[in-house]
Structure 1
Amino acid sequence: MQIFRELTSHVLRQSCIVNSESWWFGIPVERGEQCKLGSYAVGENTVAMRPGFAPFELLTPDSFEILGLVVNRQDLVLHIQTLNQSSVLPRTMQDELLKIKPVQKMGLQRLVWQILEEAARTPDIVSNPSSNESIRIAVLDALADVCSSHETTGRPPYRQMSHYKIVREVRQHLLENQDETITVVDLCQRFQISRRTLQYAFQDVMGMNPNAYLRTLRLNGVRRCLRDPNSGVSSVQQAAANWGFWHMSQFARDYQGLFGELPSERLKRRSFPIS
């Protein structure tokens, strides 16, 4: 996976091609004149897509910025199929330009900026296997969301009792595997349900989406590490990264919001009895 930001000061015509096993997504940051993918103008709230080993030309105006994602094609295909619980890929993945909602485009841009900023600020976060995997999943989740958003056919007719059963079984699985960093795609694969079904079940029963619930469990995992002098963890950053957190400022806010204290304060009290 490659994540990058490209800034140009002059008008450029670039001949581009990505690895045959990959898929390129270009997310322009509009500041006036639009860029062109071949003969197509990449308009507002549009993401450009090209499969690997398919040459394309990108014409960009002066003072231009574009965010880029290059992902393994098979990784993305399997991720989308698992989340949707369908072997059929969204029709939109056959296009060169993908029209998306403004909030989706802003979310993609924010995710790329955050990853690049955090990688520059704390390189150890990116090299940690757990936080590195969280970044990979976050990117695949975001791309799966924008690729699948036009395939929605409305809320499926699941009964509330089915939702209780789904949540009960998922919670039992999570309780039995408290020391593992489990993702939404893991749950979809294990229980053979789509992301939408899982989302509806948790919203109905828990009043929160499954990602928020999983994040709370991971925050509790960090807290256990910070409290336990035998955990082998010597810093907040290490504890957070081990549980898949890579955006440290957001992690600190989430931790404080849940537990009413900063993670560094919890670590300082490690050797003292819990009141």
Structure 2
Amino acid sequence: MYANYQTFEDADRHAHALTGWEQRYDQVGEGAFRSTVKQVSVAGVQVFQESANVRIVQRGQLPAGCVTFGLVLSGGAPYSFQGIKVDENALVVAPGDKEFLLHSPPNMSLLGVAIDAKLLESAADAAGVDVQDEVLRRHVLNIPGAAGARAGKRIIAAVETVLAAPDSLSSDDDVAHRFTQAVTESMLDLLTFHVPSYEDRLTYACRADIVRRAHDLVLTRPEQPISVLDVCEKLRVSRRTVQNSFQSVTQMNPVSYLRAVRLAQVRRLLTTTAQGELPVREAAMRWGFSNLGHFASDYKSLFGELPSQTFRAR
């Protein structure tokens, strides 16, 4: 496990800094090379956020035993992966141990993710997502821009959280677990747009009703967080149906959506009460957030500010 943030003035040094990758970067654009790399790696999951100011060509071998993903964060022009155009509405995906060729435009910013294939399969099974090999071999998948931006934001927030306290990776197993969960769930959310739908013949109205009823379940049990399994049991539907319903209606996975609903209730409490009347800790506990550190991190990711920074009633 490791986490680091580095800057470079040479393309090859940048390429060699990505642990576990056999590759080289050729600078083909004019100008003094400047780049940054933020990396976090835990058991089975590696994430790197890289940027460079000039056009480069990346080529080499994808990590063996992993499924590799790429999300465009920014760039002066479209990317090209394996001869296929890649823009902000696309997800790069490829099985491991394959040769790759990526053309990156000037002022590029890219999020790379490598997930152990068995870990991804296990997470997909748990989430009820039927990820087929044919999907993983397409190289580039079209995705809704908003969904891609949301997944990128969530993963970047997870990376920044770890980089703020890198020692926590080895000292706190929960930190590594939360990081792995955030990354795998984000990628599965995007793959869901390409999961065959023949097993789920519900109309959009039926899916919307499942989301509405799950939302209501959260509101009726404020101190006891609702899990996806709870939703399945209460609504008498399969996990896959729940997953597909949320993806279709909200473009979010059910876990993220249900957590966001609880966070929204905490924020409403904070904005309608004074600090002396209701401390942040008590407001969080009322909606089932027992770990204040995780609560504060999730709250900031959703609302862009810590709960202590939220405007309180006077």
TM-score scaled to structure 2, two decimals? 0.56
Encode CA deviations 1:147-180: one digit per residue, 9 max, x unaligned. Answer: 112445644858x89x979x87xx99x98xx6xx
Q: Which residue of 2 aligns with 1:104?
A: 147
Structure richer in helix, relative to its length: 1
Encode CA deviations 1:71-126: one digit per residue, 9 max, x unaligned. Answer: 1112222222322x365638633310011111012112212332232223233554
Structure richer in strand, relative to its length: 2
Encode CA deviations 1:215-242: one digit per residue, 9 max, x unaligned. Answer: 68999xx947x99xxxxxxxxxx9434x
Cα deviation, residue 182, structure 1: 8.3
Looking at both structures, which has the greater relative contact order when contacts are Cα pairs under 8 Å and sequence separation is at least 6?
Answer: 1
1:20 is aligned to 2:64: yes
| Alpha-carbon distance in structure 1 between the residues aligned to 2:292 and 2:156 | 20
Q: Which residue of 1 aligns with 2:260?
A: 212
Q: Which runs of 5+ in 2 are unaligned?
A: 1-44, 251-255, 268-279
Residues 179-190 of structure 1: pairs in structure 2 closer than 5 A = 184=228
Encode CA deviations 1:3-32: one digit per residue, 9 max, x unaligned. Answer: 111122333222232332211111122332
Aligned length: 236
Q: Tell me which amino acid in the other structure corresponds to 1:59.
A: H
Q: Which residue of 1 aligns with 2:271?
A: none
Cα deviation, residue 135, structure 1: 2.2
For the structure 1 residues 87 and 145, does the alpha-carbon distance in structure 2 shift closer, same or farther, using more than 3 Å as the test?
Answer: closer
RMSD: 4.6
Query: Quick one: percent identity of the two aligned structures?
Result: 15
Q: Is the Cα contact below 8 Å between 1:48 and 1:96 reproduced in 2? A: yes
| Alpha-carbon distance in structure 1 between the residues aligned to 2:98 and 2:232 | 31
Encode CA deviations 1:41-82: one digit per residue, 9 max, x unaligned. Answer: 213311211111111111223332211111111222222232
TM-score scaled to structure 1, two decimals? 0.63
1:44 is aligned to 2:88: yes
1:31 is aligned to 2:83: no
Equivalent position SS for 1:65: strand
Q: Is the Cα contact below 8 Å between 2:121 and 2:131 reproduced in 1? A: no
For the structure 1 residues 182 and 91, does the alpha-carbon distance in structure 2 shift closer, same or farther, using more than 3 Å as the test?
Answer: farther
Q: Which residue of 2 aligns with 1:80?
A: 124
Runs of 4+ in 1 over 4 A off after TM superposition: 124-127, 181-184, 186-192, 197-200, 213-219, 243-248, 250-258
